[in-house]
C-alpha cells in the first residue's frame, strides 16, 4: 500500500539543537529511496507502507544509538484505494484551483 506521511521526529536529552538528528533521518529516508521533502516542522515522506515504516523505525534506532534517550515522533498518514496520488499531485490540485478562481 502506498502511503503519504508527514513526520516530525523529536529527540530529547540532546541539547537545544536537534538539526544533527534531523539530518540523520533525512539521510535514512534518502538511503531508503523514499520521496521526501523537509519543511520547517517536519518531513513529508511517500512510498510503500513497509518501506516508510522501516525508515521510521531506523530513524528511532539510529537516533537512540547517537545518544537520544527519548524520541517522540508525530505522524500523519494518508492512504487511498481509489487511485494513486503523490504529494506533488495534492499540491498541484490546490494550485490549479487557486489559478481557476
User: Residues of the chain with pLDDT > 90: what percent?
Assistant: 82
39-79 per-position pLDDT tens digit: 999 999 999 999 999 999 999 999 999 999 999 999 999 99
Complete DSSP assignment for 18-45? -HHHHHHHHHHHHHTT-EEEEETTEEEE
The C-alpha cell at 97 is 484551483
CA distance 7 to 3: 12
Amino acid at each position: 500500500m502506498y502511503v503519504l506521511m508527514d513526520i516530525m521526529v523529536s529527540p530529547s536529552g540532546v541539547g537545544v539543537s536537534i538539526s544533527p538528528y534531523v539530518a540523520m533521518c533525512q539521510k535514512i529516508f534518502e538511503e531508503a529511496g523514499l520521496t521526501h521533502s523537509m519543511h520547517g516542522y517536519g518531513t513529508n515522506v511517500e512510498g510503500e507502507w513497509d518501506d516508510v515504516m522501516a525508515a521510521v523505525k531506523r530513524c528511532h534506532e539510529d537516533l537512540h544509538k547517537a545518544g537520544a534517550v527519548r524520541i517522540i515522533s508525530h505522524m500523519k498518514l494518508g492512504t487511498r484505494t481509489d487511485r494513486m496520488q503523490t504529494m506533488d499531485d495534492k499540491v498541484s490540485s490546490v494550485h490549479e484551483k487557486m489559478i481557476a478562481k
